[in-house]
Every structure is written in structure tokens, then in C-alpha cells.
Amino acid sequence: MARFSEGAVPDQRFDVNLSILFTELPLLERPAAAAAAGFTAVELWWPWIETPTPDQSELDALRKALVDAGTQLVGLNFYAGRLPGPDRGALSVPGEESDRFRANIDVAADFAATVGCKALNALYGNRVDGVDPAVQDELALENLVTAARAADRVGAILLIETLNKPESPLYPLVSAPAAIEVVDRVNEATGLGNAKFLLDIYHLSMNGEDVSQVIEAYADRTGHVQIADNPGRGAPGTGSLPLEQLLGELTKAGYDGWIGLEYKPGDRPSAESFDWLPAGAR
């Protein structure tokens, strides 16, 4: 595996997504495992895929695991259905799923506040057969406005993410401009300005977008970055993306936020999948 050059990422901050890495361990053991690998920051998809409103004891246990490990939670998804899986979000899906998203908004925001998490990600949701896309978009805006206000209440930003069409064919936000359009609509509706773009390099590359152009155009609108190599969604160096170059372009464009490692470790323990990253950059 190709290794980033020493000093290549001196000013960049990397966190580990504990919903795709260290999944060989129970949830409450993952923060300590990330810390043992040298990381002080982590992020999570909504951990309780069966419920948007887990018992307070479960929330408290996760908070304790994060604190005991000395890890900062820097990103958290709102409830988004079954991830990994086919759902790809709930907030634009009429009926029970959007109800579950709404029930989750304050739960997720309040939990984020208890651990100092400053970024909440809201996956848009798939198109549904028999439902007018305009109806879904109206519902999405209503729910995103509520989520943005809840995020603002706890001092956080709201992230809007582009996914990729090959893996999420029913998800409507499959280009950077599509996500930016939603960001703009939410900010216009709330007047808060706390909706930001989640720039996922893997998803953008899977869509065939010019990632360098996206960085140049939208780095100043970006609230979080996630990376994986392509093809395969593996660690940097397992595919063909020039990730070291792209991260350098992000820095040059003025992005200084967190970069989430959201890749599959392959057929080895997660702790062994970070050899591409110099220890000093963790």
C-alpha cells in the first residue's frame, strides 16, 4: 500500500468513522480501539439502526465509552434507516420513516451536545415509487430546516451529503451541485447559515465528477470531508485516486476541518489499515 509522504498532511486533522472501521468490535469498544491506533477523534453513523430514540442508558454508555477513551466525537448522522444497507436516509420518505427522523432530531442534537460534537449529518433519503419527487423535496426541506435549527441550538452545523448513483440509484443527491442546491435552500429558509456540504471524495469520484474542480468550487461551503479510495472503497493506496494530492488541494483552498476515514479495512483488522498515514498525522 502506498504511504503518504512524511509531512504531506501536517495541518490536516483525521478522524475515524467507527461505523465502517473497527466494526469487528462491539460499538462500545471501538473508541478505545481508535485511540490505541493513535486517533483522538471519531465519527459515527446513527448507531442504533432499529430505533431513532434509544434508551437513555444506551446514550450514556456510548458517551462514557467516548470519554473514557479520550476520543472526541466530531461527526454524527441523524437517524437514516438501516446503514449500511438500502435505506440511504429517512427525512424525505413520507410516513413512518420521516416520522422517525423527526423523533430523532432532538435526541441526536442533545447527545451531540453532551459530547461536544459540532457536526450533524442528514442523509436526504431515497426516491419512493408512486410519490411525486416534488412532494418528497418539500418534506425534505421542512425536516432539514427543523434539523438545522436543532443543530444551531447546540452550536453545531448541519451537513448535506452527496452519495453515488451506482451504489445508491434511488438517492437524488448524486452530484456536488445537487447537494449545494439543498444547502442553499436550507440556509435561505432558516437564515442561520449553518448548513454545509459534506464533501465525500469517494462518492464524488464514483459519480465521475472532477474532484479537483469540486474542491475549487465548494471548499468554502464544505463543513466536513470523508475519504476512501476508488475502486473498492478501501484505504488510501488500495485504489487509483490521488488522495494525497486532493487533500493538498483542500488545504490550499482553505479547508481546515476534519477529514473522516470512511473506508473498508479489507481482509485485515481495522487497526492494521492505517499504515498509509504517518503516525504524526493521527
Residues classed as catalytic: 161, 262
Distance CA 48, CA 222 (A): 27
For cell 473522516, what's the residue? 260
- Provide the 3-class DSSP secondary structure of residue 277: coil
Contact 197, 183 (CB under 8 A): yes
Distance CA 273, CA 234 (A): 9
Distance CA 36, CA 79 (A): 28
Q: Which three cell numbers stand for residue 264?
A: 473498508
Residue from 237, 120, 197 nearest 261 by CA: 237
Quote the distance between the C-alpha of residue 162 and its chain's center.
10
Other beta carbons less than 10 A from residue 186's beta carbon: 23
Q: Is the dihedral of CA 33, 36, 38, 42 positive or negative?
A: positive
